[in-house]
Amino acid sequence: MTEARPPAPRPPRTRAPGYTRTVLIVLAKDARTELRSKQTLATMLLFGLVLTFVYAFGFVSDPATNKKVMPGAMWGALLFAGTLGVGRTFAREAEDGAFGALVLSPAERSAILLAKIAVNVALSALVMVVVVPLLAVMLRVDLTDCAGLIALQLLLGAIGFAAVGTPLAVMAVSARFAEVLLPIVVFPMVTPVLIAGVKGASVALGTAIETDPWPWLQFTAAYGLVFGAGGLFLFERMVTE
């Protein structure tokens, strides 16, 4: 009576998952770890809340002035909290020494970057969902009429910011003082997003001379598109070995 042999192990899969699947896998992995630890989201949110107080104490004034200050406060919060998130993009991988494994895996590298950009956009969006209404309450600005427009502006801005910030954050990992260097490096580059966002928001709030918010929206979208596409295209060249 021969003992039943255990089934032969399946040969390892050699083919990499498709592009979209890779994006989804990395995205799901990050979403899962983030939902379990809540590290990045919690710190970003708390930082966002602290910022609302900073802005409120710094700028709160009569209703007309508050309305003019609101765009800058929102976009400042997006940039500062966003930097926190972007800087943590590959922090978990770096801590566990998993970054090399991720890069060495047969997965398309730009797919990994795309997933990471999506994670950063999602984190920024979640923070802004909390911070913007809170700012509106504290500065007593009524956003109900233009909430959709402002949300769209912030979303496009978050995409542009993440499209620039994420690849740079990846590259910064190998530098000393990476966490200090990152904002120095990213902020001048995202000033176009900031200008377009603040201007667009003041158009939406009716405090600007212009009345048409679409040119600024298109501008922000173009920015995100150019840097997103450029980053994805160049990423293969950025991280070798």
| Cβ proximity to other proteins, 99 vs 138, nearer residue | 99
Interface with other proteins, residue 98, by CB under 8 A: no
HEC-encoded secondary structure of the chain: CCCCCCCCCCCCCCCCCCHHHHHHHHHHHHHHHHHHHCHHHHHHHHHHHHHHHHHHHHHCCCHHHHHHHHHHHHHHHHHHHHHHHHHCCCHHHHHCCCHHHHHHCCCCHHHHHHHHHHHHHHHHHHHHHHHHHHHHHHCCCCCCCCHHHHHHHHHHHHHHHHHHHHHHHHHHCCCCCHHHHHHHHHHHHHHHHHHHHHHHHHHHHCCCCCCCCHHHHHHHHHHHHHHHHHHHHHHHHHCCC
Quick one: which of 85, 157, 167, 213 contacts other proteins (CB under 8 A)?
A: 167
Report the alpha-carbon distance of residue 207 to residue 64 in Å, rounded. Answer: 9
Q: How far is the CB of 55 from other proteins (least distance, A)?
A: 21
Quick one: which of 171, 179, 207, 221 contacts other proteins (CB under 8 A)?
A: 171
Interface with other proteins, residue 164, by CB under 8 A: yes
Structure tokens at 4: 């039943």
Interface with other proteins, residue 191, by CB under 8 A: yes
Interface with other proteins, residue 91, by CB under 8 A: no
Interface with other proteins, residue 215, by CB under 8 A: yes
Binding piece for other proteins, criterion CB under 8 A, among 12-20, 95-103, 105-113, 178-186: 178-186
Quick one: which of 80, 173, 207, 221 contacts other proteins (CB under 8 A)?
A: 173
Interface with other proteins, residue 225, by CB under 8 A: no
Quick one: which of 70, 172, 205, 232 contacts other proteins (CB under 8 A)?
A: 172
Burial 46-69 (b: 16+ CB within 10 A, else e): ebbbebbeebbeebeeeeeebbbb
| Cβ proximity to other proteins, 15 vs 176, nearer residue | 176
Quick one: which of 196, 201, 203, 217 contacts other proteins (CB under 8 A)?
A: 196
Question: How far from the centroid of its chain's Cα atoms is residue 198's Cα?
Answer: 18
Interface with other proteins, residue 103, by CB under 8 A: no
| Cβ proximity to other proteins, 115 vs 203, nearer residue | 203
| Cβ proximity to other proteins, 28 vs 175, nearer residue | 175
Residues of the shown chain interacting with other proteins in the complex, contacts defined by CB under 8 A? 164, 167-168, 171-177, 181, 184-185, 187-189, 191-192, 195-196, 199, 215-216, 219, 222-223, 226-227, 230-231, 234, 237-238
